[in-house]
């Protein structure tokens, strides 16, 4: 095993699949010679050649369109969009073609493609570089949406995404790209896409999060546990399809639920999770479901950015309100 970061785990998973499966190809802006804007593909073109790791023009709609064509003709393209704020140009191809291919052809064709993109705020980048709009893609039938939060999960989930027969949006939390290191066994073993991960177990509160916000969620849980509060900490990881079973079982046990994400609150994934809890586990609740989220604004630049993101302090305040609800 090797101690690596999330961005290194991306690189190792891509290298493993390029070596193991000749149908896998990578494409994106500056991913070859330069190794990508975050160096996630560093060294891969030198190792596997320009026909497997392809530098493309600055045209996201072309990258996604070519990926759809490659995927329907026997290849497994993994395309990189430099930031999530640039992904919107791909939506015509993803929604109108990639997500519909299996249904449109009644299963004769599938679309085994992955679209990777760094996402989220926290690196003091300009506008369009700090988006967290995963809910847009969760709303589209036919697309899987995956957001890892640790190096091990990044490695295993990216392997699973590449091997999946249908299109996957794989969002990588840029704020914690190099913040966390873990021992990762580069054994080519994939993790299941359809299951949440239960990191901690307790009987007093269910805390649900994903992506970069898991960093603050873990700190908040450590603080709560030091005070004797038992917490089920759930990393959703795959937002679509959503593992409702794991979430509902936890809420039925604890009776209290807090959802944390950095995306804007209105129409966010937290609202969908809260709705499912209200539909299926309402009578188990001892307090209303609460959300700690980003604000319904464009991510403010630089000095205000840290105030936009859910903090450990705000998470703890929300948890206390739920625990004290009469």
Active site residue 215: no
Paired tokens of 33: 């010679």
Q: Kindly write down the DSSP assignment for every residue of 11-70, as one continuous string.
A: HHHHHHHHHH-TTEEEEETT-SSS--TTSTTTTHHHHH-TTTEEE--S-HHHHHHHHHHH
Name the burial class of residue 290, with classes exposed (0-12), middle (13-18) and buried (19+) by CB atoms within 10 angstroms of its CB: middle
- Which run of H or of E encompasses 3? strand 2-4
Residue 200, judged by CB atoms within 10 A of its CB (0-12, 13-18, 19+), counts as: middle
The closest alpha carbon to 10, from 63, 80, 113, 91, belongs to 80
Catalytic, out of 97, 128, 129, 261: 129
* Closest C-alpha among 8, 19, 305 to residue 162: 19
Q: Which two tokens stand for residue 109?
A: 């064709």
Residues classed as catalytic:
129
């Amino acid at each position: 095993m090797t101690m690596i970061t999330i961005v290194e785990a991306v690189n190792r998973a891509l290298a493993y699949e390029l070596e193991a499966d000749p149908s896998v190809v990578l494409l994106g802006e500056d991913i070859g010679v330069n190794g990508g804007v975050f160096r996630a593909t560093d060294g891969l073109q030198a190792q596997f050649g320009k026909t497997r790791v392809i530098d493309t023009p600055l045209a996201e709609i072309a990258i996604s369109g070519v990926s759809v064509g490659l995927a329907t003709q026997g290849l497994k393209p993994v395309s990189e969009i430099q930031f999530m704020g640039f992904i919107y140009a791909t939506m015509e191809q993803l929604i109108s073609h990639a997500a519909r291919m299996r249904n449109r052809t009644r299963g004769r064709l599938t679309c085994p493609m992955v679209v990777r993109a760094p996402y989220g705020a926290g690196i003091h980048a300009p506008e369009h570089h700090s988006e967290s709009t995963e809910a847009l893609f969760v709303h589209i039938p036919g697309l899987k949406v995956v957001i890892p939060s640790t190096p091990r999960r990044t490695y295993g989930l990216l392997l699973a995404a590449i091997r999946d027969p249908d299109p996957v949006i794989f969002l990588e939390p840029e704020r914690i790209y190099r913040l966390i290191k873990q021992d990762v066994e580069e054994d080519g073993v994939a993790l299941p896409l359809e299951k949440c991960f239960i990191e901690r177990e307790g009987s007093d509160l269910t805390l649900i999060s994903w992506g970069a916000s898991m960093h603050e969620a873990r700190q908040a849980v450590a603080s709560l546990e030091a005070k004797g509060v038992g917490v089920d900490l759930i990393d959703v990881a795959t937002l679509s399809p959503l593992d409702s079973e794991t979430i509902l079982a936890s809420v039925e046990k604890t009776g209290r639920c807090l959802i944390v994400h950095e995306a804007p609150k209105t129409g966010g994934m937290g609202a969908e999770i809260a709705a499912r809890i209200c539909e299926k586990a309402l009578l188990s609740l001892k307090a209303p479901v609460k959300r700690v989220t980003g604000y319904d604004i464009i991510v403010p630049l630089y000095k205000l950015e840290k105030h936009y993101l859910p903090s450990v302090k705000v998470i703890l305040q929300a948890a206390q309100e739920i625990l004290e609800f009469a």
